[in-house]
Amino acid sequence: MGKPVVSLDQVTIRFAGDSGDGMQLTGDRFTMDTASLGNDLSTLPNYPAEIRAPQGTFAGVSSFQLHFADHLIQTPGDAPDILVAMNPAALMANIKDLPRGATIIVDQDEFTTRNLSKVGYEANPLEDGSLDSYKVHAVGLTSLTVAALSGLSLSRKEAERSKNMFALGLLSWMYHRPTEATESFLKAKFGKKPEILAANLLAYKTGWNYGETTEDFAVSYEIAPAKMPAGKYRNISGNTALAHGLIAASQLSGLKLFLGSYPITPASDILHELSKHKKFGVITFQAEDEIAAIGAALGAAYGGALGITATSGPGLALKGETIGLGVMLELPLIIIDVQRGGPSTGLPTKTEQADLLQAMYGRNGESPVVVLAPSTPSDCFAIALEAARIATTYRVPVMILSDGYIANGSEPWKIPSMSELPDLHVEFAKTQEDFLPYLRDTKTLARPWAIPGTKGLEHRIGGVEKADKTGAISYDPMNHDLMVRARAAKVAGVEIPELTVDDPKGDADVLLLGWGSTFGPIAAAVESLRANGENIAQAHLRYINPFPKNLGKVLERTQR
Question: By C-beta, is 292 or 511 nearer to other proteins?
Answer: 292
> For other proteins, which is the closer residue by CB, 15 or 302?
302
Report the nearest approach of other proteins to the CB of residue 285 (Å).
Answer: 7
Distance between CA atoms of residues 30 and 25, nearest Å: 9
Burial class (CB in 10 A: 0-12, 13-18, 19+), 475: exposed
Contact 219, 65 (CB under 8 A): no
In the sheet with 536-541, reading across from the earlier edge strand, the strands are 501-502, 536-541, 510-515
Q: Which residues, 6+ apart, have CB-to-CB distance to 298 below 8 Å?
A: 307, 322, 325, 326, 329, 331, 333
Q: Cβ of residue 382: shortest distance to other proteins, in angstroms?
A: 13
CB nearer to other proteins: give 321 or 527: 321
- Minimum distance from residue 494 beta carbon to other proteins (Å): 25
β-partners of residue 325 are none
- Nearest residue (CB) to other proteins, 44 versus 287: 287
Q: Which is nearer to other proteins, 260 or 397 (CB)?
A: 260
Least distance (Å) between residue 544 CB and other proteins: 26
Residue 545 DSSP class = E
CA–CA gap between residue 194 and residue 62 (Å, rounded): 28
Minimum distance of other proteins from residue 299's CB (angstroms): 3
User: In the complex, what is the shortest distance from the CB of residue 344 to other proteins, in angstroms, rounded to a whole number?
Assistant: 21
Partners of 398 in beta bridges = 334, 370
Q: Cβ closer to other proteins: 256 or 480?
A: 256
- The continuous run of DSSP H or E covering 511 comes out as strand 510-515
CB of 177 to other proteins, least distance (A): 12
Question: 150 pairs with which residues across the strands?
Answer: none
The Cβ of residue 502 has, within 10 Å, a number of other Cβ atoms equal to 14
CB closer to other proteins out of 156 and 425:
425
Residue 266 DSSP SS3? coil
Q: Are 11 and 225 in contact (CB under 8 A)?
A: no
